[in-house]
């Protein structure tokens, strides 16, 4: 498993704040105020494969949770053989919106599309489509997300690290847009047309579906004589792949069944017989009962390791 960084984190890699703005900001949630979390993703189904149990947990505990999906997934493949039938590819944009609606109901969260077109995953030497998310001006996408942040006023924002989780152009762009919007949303002089400024307190990167997670589950199942179905996935990780340092592990094993139902709602993308869906859930709960994150920005002092994305923000009792 990943090493957990220990120690205090305070104002590390944070947006520039004037002293007046910082002094005026109440960093903790006030008594009676609802905690709010925004999770920013590239495509429909990403919210269900990356941190879904965390979202379901916080929503069930009373937090407001908003998923922002940057694209409609229009150029995705049909990855479930049972769904690869006449008419599906032609209606993929419509179908994926319906799948997203079903998944958000299962998770108990709100969801909004940012309104960009899927970039697809071009082959080597192929150009990206002119109309796609990854080729739109960065400022345009940042402005749209700043408007969502200022309207929803999240205390915590979650997205991908600089690798995007994997090198899909939309995932890489989602990281760029999220970080830029996090840093701009609290600045009244930027994106003035996007609403009243709001500065989220913390920014996290996903650490789920890591090599360590796959390896740990594979080893635990193999030791019990069970085919993990993960050997092919593990073979795809390069030896020099970057490893995200984990600062925060959120216990959420009781919400793994909710995660799985949300995943299966994306029927064009999730093959229920694929390796990821076949692994033994009881073993997963035993050896890896958390979803993991890296705290990238914080305006509040926290002690690491954390077990709560809202650590340092909850109102004093």
Euclidean distance between CA atoms 176 and 159, whole angstroms: 10
Question: Whose CA is closest to 313, among 30, 67, 58, 17?
Answer: 30
Q: Which residues of 86-102 are buried (b: 16+ CB within 10 A; e: fewer)?
A: eeeeeebbebbbebbeb
CB 302 within 8 A of CB 248: no
The annotated binding site is made up of 43, 46, 171
Question: Are 92 and 85 spatial neighbours (Cβ–Cβ below 8 Å)?
Answer: no
What the block records as the tokens of 187 is 């600045």
Annotated binding site for Zn(2+): 43, 46, 171
Side-chain half-sphere exposure of 229, counting CA atoms within 13 A: 11
- Distance in angstroms (rounded) separating the CA atoms of residues 306 and 246: 10
d(CA 137, CA 144): 11
Whole-angstrom Cα distance, residue 250 to residue 90? 39
Local structure of residue 129 (DSSP, 8 states): P
């Amino acid at each position: 498993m990943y090493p957990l960084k220990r120690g205090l984190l305070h104002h590390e890699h944070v947006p520039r704040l004037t002293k007046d703005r910082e002094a005026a900001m109440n960093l903790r949630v006030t008594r009676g105020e609802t905690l709010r979390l925004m999770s920013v993703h590239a495509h429909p189904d990403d919210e269900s494969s990356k941190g879904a149990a965390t979202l379901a947990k916080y929503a069930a505990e009373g937090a407001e949770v908003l998923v922002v999906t940057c694209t409609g997934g229009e150029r995705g493949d049909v990855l479930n053989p049972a769904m690869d039938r006449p008419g599906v590819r032609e209606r993929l944009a419509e179908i994926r919106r319906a799948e997203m609606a079903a998944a958000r109901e299962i998770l108990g969260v709100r969801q909004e599309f940012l309104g960009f077109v899927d970039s697809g995953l071009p082959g080597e030497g192929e150009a990206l489509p002119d109309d796609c998310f990854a080729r739109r001006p960065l400022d345009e996408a940042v402005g749209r997300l700043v408007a969502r942040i200022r309207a929803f006023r999240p205390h915590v924002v979650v997205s991908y690290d600089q690798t995007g989780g994997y090198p899909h152009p939309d995932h890489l762009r989602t990281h760029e847009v999220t970080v830029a919007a996090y840093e701009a949303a609290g600045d009244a002089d930027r994106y003035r047309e996007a609403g009243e400024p709001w500065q989220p307190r913390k920014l996290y990167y996903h650490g789920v579906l890591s090599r360590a997670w796959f390896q740990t589950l594979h080893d635990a199942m193999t030791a019990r004589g069970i085919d993990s179905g993960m050997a092919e996935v593990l073979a795809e990780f390069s030896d020099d792949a970057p490893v995200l340092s984990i600062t925060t592990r959120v216990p959420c094993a009781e919400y793994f069944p909710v995660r799985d139902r949300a995943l299966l709602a994306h029927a064009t993308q999730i093959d229920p017989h694929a390796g990821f869906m076949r692994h033994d859930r009881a073993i997963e709960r035993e050896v890896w009962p958390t979803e993991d994150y890296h705290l990238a920005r914080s305006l509040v002092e926290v002690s690491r390791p954390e077990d709560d994305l809202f650590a340092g923000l909850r109102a004093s009792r």
